[in-house]
Structure 1
């Protein structure tokens, strides 16, 4: 099996109003988000020895830039904009919109709000 990944970054604000009164995340605040997309292949590599050309992730980069960068995430997602919901959203977007050759698939997506925190989503996570 081969695994590759690519990181993407964006800046955005959000609030989590369902938290207890006084919780710092209930107030509007911002993060420098990092999103990692992990792809796997159980098969052979494509020429010249790639799982997939990283350029194939260009549509995802454009989607983040056009819909998430410098936005209020409370107006972008239909769910509370937690890292967990963002990871699931981005995973499903990649699965449904990236044109990946067989047998390449999206393994997981990791979203970090800070350098020391993250949430991951993928159907095969233990």
Structure 2
């Protein structure tokens, strides 16, 4: 049986988006309550009836959240222009080696704005 497990995390951070045009409100220093959703996909182990121990996902993500929480994202290496697109990629690069079956990283900066990243092979149609 193939399943997808998703786990949500959150952090608070400030950012400026230097790639936006002069005068755009997102170029100014501002903050968000970010939500990060990590999805892993694979076959359920017939012996345990699980795909992943959820704590395994938490152990991989927590050190990254410590780096980001209550920080200015622009000061973190790799996030000099911290759009949600670049943040999703930043998370992927750090989690992919730790979480076999990683299938999607979603970053929400507001309840109505989010980015879903499926890894470097964006054109793939399935696992």
TM-score category, normalised to shorter length = 0.7 to 0.9
Distance 1:24 1:56, change over 3 A: same
Distance 1:89 1:116, change over 3 A: same
Distance 1:122 1:3 in 2: 13
Structure 2 unaligned regions, length at least 5: none
Give the C-alpha shift of residue 31 in structure 1: 0.3
TM-score scaled to structure 2, two decimals?
Answer: 0.85
The residue that corresponds to 2:72 in the other structure is 72
1:58-104 CA distances to partner (integer Å, 9 max, x unpaired)?
Answer: 22332233201111000014241000001011112111234x4xxxx
Structure 1 unaligned regions, length at least 5: none
The residue that corresponds to 1:49 in the other structure is 49
TM-score scaled to structure 1, two decimals?
Answer: 0.85
CA contact (8 A) 2:78 2:90 kept: no
User: SS state of the match for residue 97, structure 1?
Assistant: coil
The residue that corresponds to 1:12 in the other structure is 13
Question: Are 1:122 and 2:111 matched, yes or no?
Answer: no
Aligned-pair Cα RMSD in Å: 1.7
CA contact (8 A) 2:13 2:68 kept: yes
Question: Are 1:112 and 2:108 matched, yes or no?
Answer: yes
Distance 1:54 1:46, change over 3 A: farther
The residue that corresponds to 1:37 in the other structure is 38
